[in-house]
Chain A
Amino acid sequence: MLASIYTVLAAGMKYWFLLLAALMVWLLISSSTKEYRERKAVLGEIGEYIGYLEILRGLPEAKGARIGITRDNTIGSGRNADIVIRHPSVQKSHAMIYLKGKKLILSPLTKGVTRINGRRADNAYAVRSGDVITLGAVEVKVYIRPELERAVC
């Protein structure tokens, strides 16, 4: 009895095994390529960053958060800004931070408060790693990748 059940099962289950193996290999390939693509995209974006801004004061819920900066960014509370800082004291387009030559330049765009290390900035100024920028009531610290910083000095 068992022997005949086995014969039938063995003949039928070979398709089941094939199906399982094919599904497994398909899942393995698809999830592995998906993970690879996502990783590449994230790492590519990180590779674009020339440094980051670390939030020091003014936004208690985001204290210590790091925001990557690329070669060219606008900072503001508006939706169109590259770096969005939601705070009533921050203007919609508050300032720009960009790479000019090998220097990182901070340039205020509005009459709102913009300070570098406590001194009011009315025009564009170069910033370095460790400088503290005040935008309205929010303080952020600049960090530039060491390899870029070295090229400046």
Chain B
Amino acid sequence: MLKLTKQSAKAILFLQQLFILSAFGLLTIRNGQPDLMAAAMGGAVCLFNLLQYNILRTAFRHLDRFVLLAAQFLWSVGLIVMYRIRPEYAFRQGIFLIVSTFAAVIMMLIIRRSKDFGKWNWVFMALAVMLLGSTLVLSRAIGGAKNWIDIGPFSFQPSEFAKILFIMGSAYFLSTRDKLTSFIPYIAFTGICVLLLVAARELGTGLLLCGTFLVLFFAATGRTLLTMLGVGVFGAGAFASYHLFSHVQTRVNIWRDPWSSYNAEGYQIVQGLMALASGGLFGVGLGKGMPGVIPASHTDYIFSVIGEEFGILFAAIVIIFYLVFIVRGMLIALNAENIYDALLAFGCTCMLSLQGFIIIGGVIKLIPLTGITLPFISYGGSSLLSSMIQLGIIEGVALKNGKREEKELRMMGADVR
């Protein structure tokens, strides 16, 4: 009799717990006197991951556990580094993590039940444009980019949520249309989103949307020539914005030679590079580095802090965790029942991986630095919430796949464990 069994992931979870406990244990004795707060935080993170994994696995039989485990490791590393930089960051991020887990579960439930949202996609698209437009009117600037909105004591980044709406709109358009002219509203929508992002000086997210658009368009239609044309238009747009906007020019100039403006614009890149260099292969040890000298070390530049304290080999393993996440996400997309689900899962995977590539590339000076967060690791409520919602979408599609497969297997008399 045929049997479909799932591999045990207990060993991975155990190693993860060991990692978190030993890292927070080390942080406990960092300041010369025992810091019980660190021990408590370590215990809380462990308990949270364990509970989250087991509850989700029991509640959803077809959960893709490897995607969840990869994400869990990523945010655990983030919390450790944040606690080391400033404990308050870790506490706040922990609360965001609990809230966004609920958001991810809600998203899983929605995606599991839904087909494409039909006419609602027009509402989503309008909402995305409104969210991006609202930043221009209501925002305050952080580090040159106008992308934050304050509502009472909370502040949030509308572009993070526009990204998710963009993926849903893309999946709808690319799965339901096939004539070229019927793509015009969608292409116009992408153009408006990117223009609004560039106007708000949010170049990273603009680059992210462009990249996701091109990849999704190619994946859905398979038209090489048109995609190349899109790349050409995108290149021309990038070239034009280099000449039109001074902030783009600054970004490119400090990328080409950050050392000449070490005391001014290039400071962040140079500090990040020096942190990576001083870390070397194995790092200087947790708590022994100097993340204080890197601006935005807990958000955009968290990768260089990881590189400094844990070493570049560890940082490479962090990247491999992203790769595992990406490969599993793509397998889920390939396995999906219909094109809409496939594009939804693929879009989220693509968005998260491009986001990681853009910021890690920026930090190691491979591409010009554009400030976006490292998914799951960086500090930031909106960013984590948006990453978790995307994780929820991927898991939701996985649940659908699993249910369909189980039905098929059971019908033919196979057993599913």
Contact = CB atoms under 8 A, between A and B. Distances in A.
A and B interact physically? yes
A34 B7 CA distance: 8
Contacts of B321: 25, 28
B24 to A, nearest CB: 12
A21 B33 CA distance: 28
A31 B19 contact: no
Interface string B1-33: 111111111011001101100110010011011
B12 A27 contact: yes
A42 interface: yes
Interface in B285-313: 285-288, 309-311, 313
Interface stretch (B194-202, B205-213, B245-253, B404-412): B404-412
A21 B314 contact: yes
A66 B408 CA distance: 13
B281 to A, nearest CB: 9
Nearest to B19: A20
A46 B408 contact: yes
State the majority secondary structure of interface residues on A.
helix
Given A6-B29, A14-B282, A36-B331, A24 B7 contact: no
B15 A23 contact: yes
Interface residues of B, number: 54
A28 B12 contact: yes
A99 interface: no
Contact of A10 (B8, B285, B331, B414): B285
Interface string A12-49: 01111110111111011101101110110011011001
A24 B70 CA distance: 9
A2 B317 contact: no
Interface in B58-100: 66, 69-70, 73
A28 B323 CA distance: 11
Interface string B258-289: 00000000000000000000000011111110
A49 B405 CA distance: 14
B70 A28 contact: yes
Given A13-B285, A32-B328, A36-B331, A20 B26 contact: no
A34 B9 CA distance: 12
Contacts of A46: 2, 408-409, 412, 414
Contacts of B331: 36
Contacts of B69: 28
Given A18-B314, A35-B7, A11 B2 contact: no
B22 A17 contact: yes
A52 B414 contact: no
Contacts of A31: 7-9, 12, 66
A68 B415 CA distance: 12
Taking each of A20, A24, A36, which has the highest tally of chain B beta carbons within 10 Å of its own beta carbon?
A24
Contacts, number: 124
A27 to B, nearest CB: 5
A153 interface: no
A18 B310 contact: yes
A67 B413 contact: yes
A10 B289 CA distance: 11
A6 B314 contact: no
Given A14-B282, A22-B317, A38 B5 contact: yes
A151 B194 CA distance: 50
B2 A18 contact: no
A138 B412 CA distance: 20
- B6, B18, B19 pick with most chain A CB within 10 angstroms: B19
B285 A14 contact: yes
A67 to B, nearest CB: 6
Central interface residue in A31, A45, A52, by most chain B CB within 10 Å: A31
Interface string B387-417: 0000000000000000001001101111000
A14 B317 CA distance: 14
Contacts of A5: 29
Contacts of B3: 42
B282 A35 contact: no
Nearest to B64: A32
Contacts of A29: 320, 324
B34 interface: yes
Most chain B beta-carbon neighbours within 10 Å: one of A28, A36, A42: A28
7 contacts: A13-B285, A14-B284, A14-B309, A24-B16, A28-B12, A34-B7, A42-B4
Given A3-B32, A18-B317, A35-B6, 17 more contacts: A2-B34, A6-B26, A10-B286, A10-B287, A13-B22, A14-B283, A14-B285, A14-B310, A14-B311, A17-B310, A18-B310, A20-B18, A28-B70, A29-B320, A31-B66, A42-B4, A46-B408
